[in-house]
Chain A
Amino acid sequence: MQQSKKAPLRFVFTWHDFGVFISLLVVATILCYFLRKIDDSDVYVALIFELTVVLVSRFTDGYLFGLLSSVVGVIGINYIFTFPYYQLNFTISGYPLTFLVMLIVSVVVSTLTTQIKQQEKIRAEAEKEKMRGNLLRAVSHDIRTPLTSIVGGVSTLLDSGDQLNEATRTQLLENIRDESNWLVSVVENLLSVTRMTGEQTKIKKEMEAGEEVLSAAAMKIKKHYPDIDVSVHAPQELLMIPMDVILIEQVLINLMENAIQHGGTTTRVELQLRKDGERARFEVADDGQGIAREVFPKLFKGYLSHDEELTADGRRNMGIGLSVCMSIVQAHGGTMQAENRETGGALFSFTLPLEEHRDENPRENSGN
């Protein structure tokens, strides 16, 4: 269905492809040149150029350079590497056949690679679509549940508030406040998602001080959960990290909220930043119950489905927060893990590259 939009331009010229084309041909030529010093039979020449055609077709888009390399290859072979050297001789036996074979190979390889690339795109598209669907489902659940208790609580207070005792009234009001705060965090996450998808998933990164994000996120959590002991550790060396600071703050807040709300018995949360080779490593550790083994495989997979008993205790599903975290970290070219600590409690960590990548292709985000 997207076909019309990005119909593959089969004969597109790009400098990148041109570079690939030239360098591969040069390598092949040099190789042949040296091989001839060792062995002056020329059977391998055609094979080497055949391989070059395959490689060029594979590493460039469309047909243009694949075809071009087979033409250049055939002429080159003829001119330089086959007897008589340094002159064109189209009468060599089998020559038209060689030419034809190289042409066919390049067309076939180009077609195949184009197809593979296209399929990749379609799959990524479908993946995105699925994520969006999951998110919507998670969100509507996340919104409906607290709304139900807010509407119910308020109606109760309005209709029969005077029949309730003080304690019950306070409790209802506290519930309403907590549920509303929950809604706020859902909305924050949604905003993060729109921030990422708004500008074609390409996030705007700037060099930011790692310790500042850490402390700002910790402050916000302390304001919301005054009873939780939050500690922050950052290295003596200032780590400047390319990131969208608002999104990374959101990741840290989500992870801390997650630790507090799902840790069960969490009393303290530890935030840590360290340098890990070429990457900055953020850790959020808690002293709660840890992560149940059956939850692990689905932790970052979209969201936890609601018909599972995991949410039977009425606990919020943690899916939306964590999957938003995952998307944000991946969009930064980072990775994310979760594990249980030996001392009890859970440990979530993610890494961000310290160097801005030259090419903007977020290919290598293999995730976990």
Chain B
Amino acid sequence: MKIREKILVIEDEQTIRNFMQAVLTANDYDVLLARTGAMGESMIASHCPDVIILDLGLPDVDGMEILRKVRRWSKVPIVVVSARTHERDKVEALDAGADDYLTKPFGTGELLARIRAAIRHTRTPIGSEAVANTGIFKAGDLTIDYAKHRVFIAGQDANLTQNEYKLVALLGLHAGKVLTYDYLIKELWGPSARSDNQILRVNMANIRRKIEQNPAQPVYIFTEVGIGYRMIEGD
């Protein structure tokens, strides 16, 4: 018998719970439903789900609160669902340890893709299994060689500077996941760095001119406007 992944959906809207249950069951997941934050919290502890889908706007507890509490003791992937379109909320959730976010309304395709990515990320502490095993990240023509500290495009050295390499390497490690501007700045320039996005933008522009065919139509590193960058999933 196949062991199915257990997904806990914490969502107060009946209709959304219904539709998620239908989609997830149809796609071979075990679905647990929680109507309130309190219910959700106790189910996380008792059922140990493989993925949590957490609505931030719950009636009893703030979803952010649950997120922070769970992160104190568990690394279970959490995909945050929010109707709040303000990018600040998404950034806050990601920085508080959410693995990904979905903005309502979202399509079923998107939901499933995010869940798959989230599950993949837990298999290995770093983004992709391949990176963990071989020290190499590959996506299309892009190769990041973590041992040599080099990035290649179709076999050619992309000649990235040190900071540019660090940035690409970091995104590659967490391929498929959004890394917030703040997170990237802190990782690259230290915790005391000013939260000034400009230098990050300039670095990213340079990287894109070195690795993308058309920097304005990137295929490897995508911008999540107002939030951060996301590397395409590895092959």
Which A residues form the contact surface with B (CB < 8 A)? 180, 184, 188, 191, 206-209, 211-219, 231-234, 236, 238, 240, 245-246, 249, 271, 273
Q: Which chain A positions have C-beta within 8 A of B225?
A: 212-213, 216-217, 245-246, 249
In the complex, the answer to whether A207 meets B201 with C-beta atoms within 8 Å is yes
**Do A191 and B216 have beta carbons less than 8 Å apart?**
no
29 contacts between A and B (CB under 8 A): A188-B85, A191-B85, A207-B197, A209-B201, A209-B204, A209-B205, A211-B205, A211-B216, A212-B201, A212-B204, A212-B223, A215-B217, A215-B222, A216-B222, A216-B225, A219-B222, A232-B214, A232-B217, A234-B215, A234-B216, A238-B201, A238-B205, A240-B198, A240-B201, A245-B225, A245-B226, A246-B225, A271-B216, A273-B216
User: Which B residues fall within an 8 A CB radius of A?
Assistant: 85, 87, 105, 197-198, 201-202, 204-205, 208-209, 214-218, 222-226
Say whether, besides A232-B216, A234-B216, A208 and B201 are in contact (CB < 8 Å): yes
Are B198 and A211 in contact, CB atoms less than 8 angstroms apart?
no
CA distance in complex: A38, B18 (Å): 92
Contact across chains for A238 and B202 when beta carbons are under 8 A apart: yes
Across the interface, do A246 and B201 meet the contact criterion of CB distance under 8 Å? no
Given contacts A184-B105, A245-B226, 8 further A-B contacts (CB under 8 A): A188-B85, A207-B197, A209-B201, A209-B204, A216-B223, A238-B201, A238-B205, A240-B198
The minimal Cβ–Cβ distance linking B216 to chain A, given in whole angstroms, is 4
**Residues in B whose Cβ lies below 8 Å from that of A208:** 197, 201
User: What is the distance, in angstroms, from B62's C-beta to the closest C-beta of chain A?
Assistant: 21
Chain A: minimal CB distance from B217 (Å):
4
- Which secondary structure characterizes the binding site on chain A? helix
Q: Which residues of B lie under 8 Å from residue A214 when comparing CB positions?
A: 216
Q: Are A211 and B226 in contact (CB under 8 A)?
A: no
Residues in B whose Cβ lies below 8 Å from that of A218: 217
Provide the residues of chain B in CB contact with A232, threshold 8 Å: 214, 216-217
B204, B209, B217 — which one has the most chain A CB atoms within 10 A of its CB? Answer: B217
Q: Which residues of A contact B218 (CB under 8 A)?
A: 215
Question: Are B198 and A207 in contact (CB-based, < 8 A)?
Answer: yes
CB neighbours (8 Å) of A249 from chain B are 225
Q: Is the CB of A246 within 8 A of B197?
A: no
Cβ–Cβ contact A246 & B226, under 8 A: yes
Contact of A215 among B197, B201, B223 (CB under 8 A): B223
**Contact residues in A for B222 (Cβ distance below 8 Å):** 215-216, 219
Candidates B201, B204, B205, B217; contact of A231 at CB < 8 Å? B217
A233 to B216, Cβ gap below 8 A?
Answer: yes
B208: chain A residues at CB < 8 Å are 211
